Amino acid sequence: YGTTGGQPTHAPETDFAAAAEACGLPGTTVDDLDGFVDAYREAVAHDGAALVACEVEPTDPDARPPFDYAEIKRRVRGALADD
């Protein structure tokens, strides 16, 4: 998120979990790792689409790693290899 995301939104108060539920999908908002683990487990176990909205701290744009596709690819591959 901090590298390729962080874009401002025009509606920071949008409740994406409620929007998912209004469309008939299970939706959950989490703000910590434990909550994410539980919500993700439930979403994957659900027979169909589900949404897990994660509240994250904004990143200082100047502190982000360079937006270099080769570097992003290396970091993603490294993160997947760690799992």
pLDDT 10s digits, 29-49? 999 999 999 999 999 999 999
Q: Are 20 and 26 in contact (CB under 8 A)?
A: yes
Query: Higher confidence at residue 70 or residue 40?
Result: 40
Cα atoms found within 13 Å of the Cα of residue 47, Cβ hemisphere only: 0
Look up residue 54 and give its two tokens: 């994660």
pTM of the model: 0.64
Higher-pLDDT residue of 57, 18:
18
Burial of 28 by CB count in 10 Å (0-12 exposed, 13-18 middle, 19+ buried)?
Answer: buried
pLDDT(6) > 90: no
Rg (CA), the chain: 15
The answer to whether the beta carbons of residues 18 and 27 sit under 8 Å apart is yes
pLDDT band at 82; cut points 50, 70, 90: confident
